[in-house]
Amino acid sequence: MTLAPPSDQLAATASRRGRPARGSGRASGRLPIGYVFVSLYALLALAFGIVPSLYAVLLAFTNPAGGFAGVDNFVKVIGDFRFWPAVLHVTLYLVIWLTGLVIFVVALALIVHAVRVRWASTTLRFLYYLPGALAGASSVLLWLFVLDPTASPVSGLLRLMGFNSFVQVIQPGNLPAVFAIIAFWTGAGGWIVIMYGALNNISTDVIEAARIDGANTVQIALRIQLPMLRKWVAYMGVMSLAAGTQLFVEPQLLSQASNAVVPNDYSLNQLAYQYAFQQNDFNGAAAISLILLVVALLLSWVFVTRGGLFERE
């Protein structure tokens, strides 16, 4: 007697039972539900992400007449006296913000996770997340009052630091730290909640085994929880880096509120805006945008590779 191949036996058995064979392929006419879930996002990403990026690439390498310009647009914007100060401003802001974000978000998430009283832990997560409910422009308007020693609820602290007027607080040398504080206040709460969820996914058996072996709370955090949060920290770094390089709303609103004490070309995004809508040079604006994109992708690659974001356990 000739035995049928295993796949044929599986298909024959399944057909007798009235259901499709497992592993025999998709049922005809049925679309995997995963494709349905990602389809709308894919369409939006294509329409508002990929297509504009490709158009920016086209503009960056052409002149206003539509002819090929090579790297002329890049040479022009890099040679602009406003370019390198804007690079320095954004770099300082990113260093302060990302460093503070990684340290304080992880520390606060560990503290909240260590709170054993349920209502207290829930209340802390809610309070941390609450500032994120404010849109970027709204949060900056709120901080306009906080940073003004004549109206701020923390005016005593500002005066203790030597600031007696709003103009003194928003001097360009202070702005990287000011913008980092605003960004942390607005966005850290959501990341604390995410890190808290990641901590909940760590097996309680591992934690209990460490406690039985004599590890205290600090040792558990340093030797077990932090290594297991590495991928989430890398993910936070990638997303925050992408947002941080796009610094625009905060300096733009402060520039308008301070009567140009804060320059309107403080950040690279502002400089691109000036090229596009003040100088009518969309090719130069596209070149700045493309430089930002390439730098952000390279730095994100560092976070992904060093953080093991796509490594399997």
pLDDT surpassing 50 at residue 2: no
pLDDT surpassing 70 at residue 234: yes
> Is residue 159 situated within a structural domain?
yes
Q: pLDDT tens, 104-157?
A: 999 988 888 888 777 877 887 777 777 766 666 677 778 888 888 888 888 898
The CA-to-CA distance between both ends of the chain, in Å, stands at 46
7 exposed, middle or buried (CB, 10 Å; 0-12, 13-18, 19+)?
A: exposed
Lowest mean pLDDT among 24-33, 85-94, 162-171, 274-283: 24-33
CATH number at residue 279: 1.10.3720.10
> Is residue 53 situated within a structural domain?
yes
> Is residue 63 situated within a structural domain?
yes
Q: How many domains does the chain have?
A: 1
> Is residue 23 situated within a structural domain?
no
pLDDT surpassing 50 at residue 11: no
Q: What is the mean pLDDT of residues 214-224?
A: 86
pLDDT surpassing 80 at residue 198: yes
| Domain range for 171 | 45-307
Q: What is the mean pLDDT of residues 167-177?
A: 89
Is the model more confident about 118 or about 96?
Answer: 96
> Is residue 10 situated within a structural domain?
no
What pLDDT shows up at residue 135?
A: 60
Instruction: Tell me the C-alpha to C-alpha distance, in Å, between residue 107 and each of 159, 211, 221, 231.
Output: 29, 20, 9, 16
Give the phi and the psi of residue 62 in degrees, each rounded to 5.
Answer: -130, 165
Q: pLDDT tens, 55-90?
A: 999 999 999 888 999 999 999 999 999 999 999 999
* Torsion region of 311: left, alpha or beta (phi above 0 gives left; psi -120 to 50 gives alpha): beta
Residue with tokens 């109206």: 151
What pLDDT shows up at residue 211?
A: 87
Distance CA 291, CA 92 (A): 17
Residue with tokens 């072996």: 213
What pLDDT shows up at residue 152?
A: 87
Query: Residue 68 in 3-state DSSP?
Result: strand
Give the phi and the psi of residue 68 in degrees, each rounded to 5.
Answer: -70, 130
Percentage of residues in the chain having pLDDT higher than 90: 31
> Is residue 34 situated within a structural domain?
no
pLDDT surpassing 70 at residue 187: yes
pLDDT surpassing 50 at residue 6: no
> Is residue 312 situated within a structural domain?
no
What pLDDT shows up at residue 30?
A: 59
> Is residue 9 situated within a structural domain?
no
Q: pLDDT tens, 15-42?
A: 444 454 444 444 445 567 888 888 888 9
